[in-house]
Amino acid sequence: MILDWGDTVMRNLPYAGPMAHWPRVEAVAGVEGALAALHGRRRLVLATNAADSGEALVRQALARAGLERYFDAVLTARELGVRKPDPAFFQAVLQATGAVPSEAAMVGDDYAADVAGPKALGLRAVWFNPQAQPCPQAAALHDAEVRAMADLPAALDRPFLPDTAECFELLSAQEAPAALLAHVRAVAATAYRLAEGLRSRGVAVDPLLAHRGGLLHDLDKVTARRLGRTHGELGAELLRNAGRLELAAIVERHLMFTILDPGRGPATWEQKLVFYADKIVEGERTVSLDERLAALSRRYPENAGRMRACLPAMRALEAEICAALGTSPEELRGFLGSEP
């Protein structure tokens, strides 16, 4: 477990020079309990972009806060000669600790340095987001998010969802073409932004589950047709066999006609958001339900009547989502934009 230093383990205070020499140092709230819970279960490494402190000075600062004893290694940009998010930084950390990417996870507050950087090398990444900021990019790269360091041990005890790279590997194995990949990216981004909005209003929803469900909702789009299987059924089967039950449920419940069957339609918020996102994303563009239905009816004229029969239920779902977000369909589309 690799942890960032400033504003992840120790607070950045308005002083200059090495932290060890500051008149006051302060640990991030909850971090000592988290480190104590993880110590002995995981090898803890501190890796920082600090340019004015080497290992000795970093350890002095940690000792002032009573945290130095938890870290098996301290690695700094000053001594490594390279900074995050450069992949060479993480390669150097792995080399120094004898770990491989699949065995390592990075925890930090800077999305570019502590999430995008390690993900480019295949590490897991936990985004520490104490200010509850929206994700700075449409493709949610992180594997988990914590808003309090006290929650870190519990977050690490939960199995990670497939990351974005794994999702695209699954799609590639199912022969997904470029146009389909663009569509699932847009659906995933839309579902994720909706989930973030709901969570900010106190709704219990997992934005990452919505995002990964959006990426995989059309997992079997090509192979199901080729094999004469029902779209959604094959994808759900593949995911259930891999133990991904929540994702399997999203895949099998995103089909338009399921909304007419209370036992088969979207039930959880994550299922509802992926279903809805898929019904307002035409290609890569966010459109109205009417525009999306018209486009689908042109492509599948044999199902046009059944799709029109779904429209009242889809409008009701849209109204439910908008009410929870405190907005209207028109304002919602303006918020989402035409290209998620």
Q: Identify the structural domains of the chain with CATH numbers, from first to last.
A: 2-157 (3.40.50.1000), 164-336 (1.10.3210)
Q: How confident is the model at residue 340 (pLDDT cuts 50, 70, 90)?
A: very low
Q: What is the pLDDT of residues 146-190, one digit of tens each?
A: 999 999 999 999 999 999 999 999 999 999 999 999 999 999 999
Residue 210 has what pLDDT?
98
- For the beta carbon of residue 241, count every other beta carbon within 10 angstroms: 9
- Is a pLDDT exceeding 60 seen at residue 339? no
Residue 97 has what pLDDT?
94
- Is a pLDDT exceeding 80 seen at residue 20? yes
Question: Mean pLDDT across the stretch 311-317?
Answer: 97
- Is a pLDDT exceeding 60 seen at residue 22? yes
Question: Mean pLDDT across the stretch 205-224?
Answer: 97
- Is a pLDDT exceeding 80 seen at residue 23? yes
Q: How confident is the model at residue 262 (pLDDT cuts 50, 70, 90)?
A: confident
Q: What is the pLDDT of residues 86-116, one digit of tens each?
A: 999 999 999 999 999 999 999 999 999 999 9
CA distance 272 to 192: 12
- Closest to 6 (Cα-Cα) out of 70, 84, 79: 84
Instruction: Identify any residues that bridge with 125 across adjacent strands, giving them in sequence order.
Output: 106
Question: Mean pLDDT across the stretch 241-267?
Answer: 96
Tokens of 48: 């920082």
Ordered strands of the 2-3 beta sheet: 73-76, 45-48, 2-3, 105-108, 124-128, 144-146
- Is a pLDDT exceeding 80 seen at residue 59? yes
- Closest to 255 (Cα-Cα) out of 287, 221, 222: 221
Residue 335 has what pLDDT?
80
Residue 138 has what pLDDT?
83
- Is a pLDDT exceeding 80 seen at residue 127? yes
Residue 219 has what pLDDT?
97
Residue 333 has what pLDDT?
82
Global pTM value = 0.94
- Closest to 333 (Cα-Cα) out of 295, 269, 279: 279
Q: How confident is the model at residue 230 (pLDDT cuts 50, 70, 90)?
A: confident
